[in-house]
């Protein structure tokens, strides 16, 4: 569509155009073609060299030619573009690489319609194409023909009248300066420089427009060295510039000067800084977590493995190939199917992420356990995965610990099973022992008791006071021995012969116990508040309260004795208190009284087996509670004990009758 240029020159907005691309680098060509198509333009064709350009351009209907100056030498470029200006009515734009300064110096005579430098960006390319098509409506060659050159001005080097109009399409600022850095001519693209509203640059110093200290302009270095210089510099207001300058010798009496090309790279610097910061953070995270990293490009098959990934398997980064088989090929045969299946499901989008624990063959020939995570980073329009990245963590130590824990657990289960068998045998033996005690040991006691009863009945009148005392002593010791045997049997049964558990209203239970122990008239037993119901064995609760209340009544030494029972809810347990105003207990004996067969008074003064409190303590501890005493001599005693609310019955226990 040749008339595109005419439409623009008439003020009509530019439609899509057809572009002929002369570029020998495949990657660069694809990138430029993609940008052009994204702008709505079409590709008329592509040449890989300037020699092909004349033949191809004749056959193709192109509206614009993009020419890479890196394809051939400057002489061939000069000949080709001169031929295009003479034979073709098509605008052309030169693509320059890193040698943009040399390109400017060597191509001013051929009057291109614009320049664009690599790397080519969409914004840059769109701007240069629009301006080239605008100029195509009025050729800027002042000589009026494509063969004639424009007159040379008496300024530094071969500066051509109108060259700044051509350079106006460049995203960079191009300055023509004298040897002192004063601007003689520019393309007037202020490109975000810190300028005043007066944007005229001619006559101002380069250091001024860049907000630099006087004499800091790097362009002056080109005059001193006589060579092209490149430098990145930060201005006083924080702007970053990439400045390339080339000295231009004076000709035909003209003064020497400088050509400077300036890029505002502040945004790029900020981006680079952010990327570097993120990279450092990632490295710290990976290093701190001992994580390896991998990044797989599924289009090319290229995989990046970091040093930690290689080190986990005992390699250096140079020892491993950048391919996926470096990982998948080292997977243990027993794990490979599950790993590849999980990876495939994630790549197909069936799973949100990939995670696998498996074994990899290390350089030492040993298998290492690793945890590999991955996530697709990029998919194409059809949903196919294009790139996936993730981490790897050496979990060999954890897996060994787990295997050791499993082994120990198996050993523990075996030991528990063996000990359970032995415990069951011991319980059977204890039951047999209890049977022996209950029947065989009590039989002689019954005989002694019966014999002493006969002696008392038949010979009591013949005995003096001492003889009668001996008969009573025999009978009391037999009774004590019988009680001792009963206490031992009760103590041995706690925790072994579990009876039936049921809901027990402790208020009713205590009234029954009070009737059994029959406190003397001067002793009162008081239930201080409404007691709860508990889920337990009735016989156990009877033994606990009967022993505590019985001791309080038995040892009471006050004319008006008071025994009080109270309870409180502690959240997940009940706490009970049995207190009295009796003789009290010396703190030295607070632990001793809970030991079996221990009493604090002579056995003959107050009948006691020394088993009661030991039995209470054992029952409470078997039920998961604790017991303690607070007491001082002369100030009575308070026994506190807790009973946990049974798991799963907590709410029911709170609402059961008794609350």
Do 629 and 506 belong to one domain? yes
CA dist 582 → 190, 416, 567, 610, 636 (Å)? 103, 47, 20, 19, 4
Specify if 165 maps to a domain. Answer: no
- Whether residue 539 sits in one domain with residue 438: no
Residue 155 forms part of a structural domain: no
Residue 337 lies in a domain: yes
Please report whether residue 197 resides in a domain: yes
Identify whether residues 464 and 519 lie together within a single domain: no
Range of the domain at 601: 498-655
CATH number of residue 639's parent domain: 3.30.565.10
Residue 298 CB partners (closer than 8 Å, separation 6+): 347, 385, 386, 387, 388
Distance between CA 323 and CA 297 in Å, rounded?
A: 9
Same domain, 503 and 643: yes
Rounded to two decimals, the pTM is 0.37
Out of 461, 491, 521, a domain closes at 491
Residue 164, in any domain of the structure = no
If DSSP codes are grouped into helix, strand and coil, which group holds residue 456? helix
**Is 160 domain-assigned?**
no
Residues of the chain with pLDDT under 50: 1-13, 74, 138-162, 165, 189-198, 253, 657, 659
* Same-domain status, 387 and 434: no
Give yes or no: residues 117 and 186 share one domain.
Answer: no
Residue 563, token pair as written in the block? 């025994």
Based on the domain organization, do 21 and 127 belong to the same domain? yes
Q: Return the residue matching tokens 């205590």.
A: 510
d(CA 206, CA 134): 30
Three-state secondary structure string covering 337-381: HHHHHHHHHHHCCCCCCEEEEEEEECCCCCEEEEEEEEEEEEECC
CATH number, domain with residue 281: 3.30.450.20
The answer to whether residues 346 and 376 touch, using CB atoms and an 8 Å cutoff, is: yes
CATH of the domain at 63: 3.40.50.2300
Question: Are 298 and 279 found together in one domain?
Answer: no
Question: Are both 509 and 633 inside the same structural domain?
Answer: yes
User: Is the same domain home to 115 and 237?
Assistant: no
CB distance 595 to 614 below 8 Å: yes
Q: Looking at the domain assignment, is residue 159 inside a domain? A: no
> What confidence score (pLDDT) does residue 450 get?
83
Quick one: 448 and 461 in the same domain? yes
**How many domains is the chain partitioned into structurally?**
5
Which residue reads 């350079």 in tokens?
167
Q: What is the DSSP string of 597-657?
A: T--SS-TTTS---S-HHHHHHHHHHHTT--EEEEE-TTS-EEEEEEEEPPTT-HHHHHHST
Decide which of 491, 516, 532 is a domain's last residue.
Answer: 491
Express the helix, strand and coil content of the chain in percent, nearest 5 each. 45, 25, 35
Radius of gyration of the chain (CA): 52
């Amino acid at each position: 569509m040749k008339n595109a240029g005419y439409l623009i020159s008439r003020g009509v907005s530019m439609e899509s155009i057809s572009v002929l691309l002369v570029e020998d680098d495949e990657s660069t060509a694809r990138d430029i073609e993609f940008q052009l198509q994204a702008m709505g333009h079409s590709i008329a064709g592509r040449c890989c060299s300037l020699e092909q350009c004349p033949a191809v351009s004749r056959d193709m209907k192109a509206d614009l030619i993009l020419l890479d100056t890196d394809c051939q030498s400057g002489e061939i470029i000069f000949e080709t573009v001169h031929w295009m200006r003479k034979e073709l009515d098509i605008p052309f734009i030169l693509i320059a690489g890193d040698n943009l300064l040399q390109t400017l110096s060597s191509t001013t005579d051929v009057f291109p319609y614009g320049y664009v430098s690599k790397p080519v960006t969409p914004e840059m390319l769109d701007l240069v194409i629009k301006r080239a098509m605008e100029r195509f409506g009025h050729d800027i060659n002042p000589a009026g023909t494509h063969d004639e050159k424009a007159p040379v001005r008496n300024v530094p080097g071969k500066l051509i009248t109108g060259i700044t109009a051509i350079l106006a399409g460049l995203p960079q600022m191009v300055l023509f300066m004298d040897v002192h850095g004063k601007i003689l001519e520019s393309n007037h693209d202020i490109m975000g420089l810190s300028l005043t509203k007066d944007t005229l640059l001619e006559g101002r110093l380069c250091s001024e427009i860049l907000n630099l200290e006087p004499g800091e302009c790097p362009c002056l270095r080109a005059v001193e060295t006589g060579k092209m210089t490149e430098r990145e510099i930060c201005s006083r207001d924080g702007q970053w510039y990439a400045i390339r300058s080339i000295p231009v010798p004076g000709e035909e009496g003209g003064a020497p000067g400088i050509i400077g090309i300036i890029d505002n790279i502040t945004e790029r610097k900020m981006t680079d800084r952010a990327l570097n910061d993120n990279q450092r953070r990632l490295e710290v995270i990976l290093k701190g977590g001992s994580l390896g990293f991998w990044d797989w490009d599924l289009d090319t098959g290229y995989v990046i493995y970091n040093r930690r990934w290689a080190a986990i398997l005992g390699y250096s980064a140079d020892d491993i190939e950048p391919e996926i088989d470096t990982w998948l090929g080292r997977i243990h045969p027993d794990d490979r199917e599950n790993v590849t299946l999980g990876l495939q499901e994630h790549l197909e989008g069936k799973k949100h992420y990939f995670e696998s624990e498996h074994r990899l063959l290390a350089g030492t020939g040993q298998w290492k356990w690793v945890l590999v995570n991955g996530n697709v980073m990029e998919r194409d329009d059809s949903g196919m995965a294009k790139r996936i990245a993730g981490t790897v963590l050496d979990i060999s130590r954890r897996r060994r610990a787990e295997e050791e824990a499993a082994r120990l657990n198996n050993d523990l289960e075996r030991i528990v099973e063996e000990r359970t068998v032995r415990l069951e045998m011991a319980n059977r033996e204890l039951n047999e022992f209890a049977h022996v005690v209950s029947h065989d040991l009590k039989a002689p006691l019954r005989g002694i008791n019966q014999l002493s009863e006969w002696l008392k009945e038949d010979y009591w009148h013949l005995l003096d006071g001492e003889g009668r005392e001996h008969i009573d002593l025999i009978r009391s010791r037999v009774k004590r021995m019988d009680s001792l045997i009963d206490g031992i049997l009760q103590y041995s049964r706690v925790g072994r012969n579990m009876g039936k558990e049921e809901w027990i209203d402790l208020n009713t239970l205590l009234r029954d116990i009070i009737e059994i122990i029959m406190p003397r008239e001067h002793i009162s037993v008081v239930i201080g508040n409404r007691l709860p119901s508990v889920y337990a064995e009735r016989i156990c609760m009877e033994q606990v309260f009967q022993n505590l209340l019985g001791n309080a009544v038995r040892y009471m030494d006050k004319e008006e004795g008071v025994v009080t029972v109270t309870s409180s809810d502690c959240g997940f347990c009940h706490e009970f208190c049995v207190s009295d105003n009796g003789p009290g207990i010396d703190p030295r004996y607070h632990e001793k009284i809970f030991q079996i067969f221990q009493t604090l008074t002579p056995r003959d003064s107050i009948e006691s087996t020394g088993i009661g409190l030991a039995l209470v303590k054992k029952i409470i501890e078997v039920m998961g509670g604790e017991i303690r005493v607070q007491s001082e001599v002369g100030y009575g005693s308070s026994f506190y004990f807790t009973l946990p609310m049974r798991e799963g019955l907590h709410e029911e226990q709170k609402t059961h009758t008794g609350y």
